[in-house]
A and B are shown apart, each in its own frame.
Chain A
Amino acid sequence: MAEPGIPQAAELPQPAAVANPLLAAFLAWLVPGAGHLMLRRAARAGLFFVVVLVSLAIGCSLHGNLYTPVAGQPLTYLATLGCMGLGLPYFILRYLVGYHGDVVSAGFEYGTAFVLTAGLMNLLLVLDAWDIASGKKD
């Protein structure tokens, strides 16, 4: 039962959107930091761009795995989604550069951790850009 005098969720003022959340999220996914740049958070955008791409570069230099789905191994589907979180860099590496990683390389496991982390960090940036564009977050 609702308490008198306490506003219910439907009565609370909704935050005003400051930009198109869908566009901000798409740009954030496409290029790390681009969503924040669109939302006029240039310093944060630059920092995110550098952090995600440095993580990816280290992962590739260690020959880490850029996941693709493997039939019969469900976790590779999740890992592929994580890597695809990188947006454009994933597709450039996969289809233009032809990068796959090297399973016999000494740095393979470490490199995979760096590559996957870069993708997951960018997915968090997509959510952050969505929240900022929706006016739910500064």
Chain B
Amino acid sequence: MLSHFLLMVVYGLLVSVFFTALWRRQRREQVVLFLQLFLGMVGGGLLAAWLMYPFPSGPPAPIP
């Protein structure tokens, strides 16, 4: 359960379902908003990861 990608997908799924049920009533509108939110979050996350890929990760953070 510690896969970063899996957690991001699950998080995006939960948040997308929540806001779809909160903001839309018609089935077609719900599908459109769900896809916009879910793909926006997962796609945005992948895009940010791709943009950060060239940067070095550095040493691990110290445990407080």
Task: Show the binding face of A for B, using Cβ within 8 Å.
Answer: 44, 47-48, 51-52, 54-55, 58, 61-62, 103-104, 106-107, 110, 113-114, 117, 121, 124-125, 128, 138
Q: Is the CB of B2 within 8 A of A107?
A: yes
Q: With A107-B1, A117-B11 given, is the CB distance from A51 to B18 under 8 Å?
A: yes
Partner of A121, one of B1, B2, B4, B18: B18
Q: Tell whether B27 is near chain A: CB-to-CB under 8 Å.
A: no
Q: Is the CB of B11 within 8 A of A114?
A: yes
Q: Is the CB of A55 within 8 A of B21?
A: no
Task: Show the binding face of B for A, using Cβ within 8 Å.
Answer: 1-2, 4, 7, 10-11, 14-15, 17-18, 21-22, 25, 63-64
Distance in angstroms between the alpha carbons of A59 and B37 in the assembled complex? 21
Q: Is the CB of B11 within 8 A of A124?
A: no
Partner of B64, one of A51, A55, A103, A110: A103
Distance in angstroms between the alpha carbons of A136 and B31 in the assembled complex? 24
Partner of A110, one of B7, B17, B18, B21: B7
Cβ distance A87 to chain B, nearest Cβ, rounded Å: 16
Distance in angstroms between the alpha carbons of A44 and B22 in the assembled complex? 8
Residues of chain B within 8 A (CB-CB) of A138 are: 25
Partner of B10, one of A58, A103, A106: A58
Distance in angstroms between the alpha carbons of A135 and B24 in the assembled complex? 17
Q: Is the CB of A61 within 8 A of B1?
A: yes
Q: Is the CB of A51 within 8 A of B1?
A: no
Given contacts A107-B1, A117-B14, 5 further A-B contacts (CB under 8 A): A48-B21, A54-B14, A58-B10, A62-B1, A62-B7
What 9 A-B pairs are tightest by C-beta distance, nearest first?
A51-B18, A55-B14, A110-B7, A47-B21, A121-B18, A51-B14, A44-B21, A104-B63, A51-B17
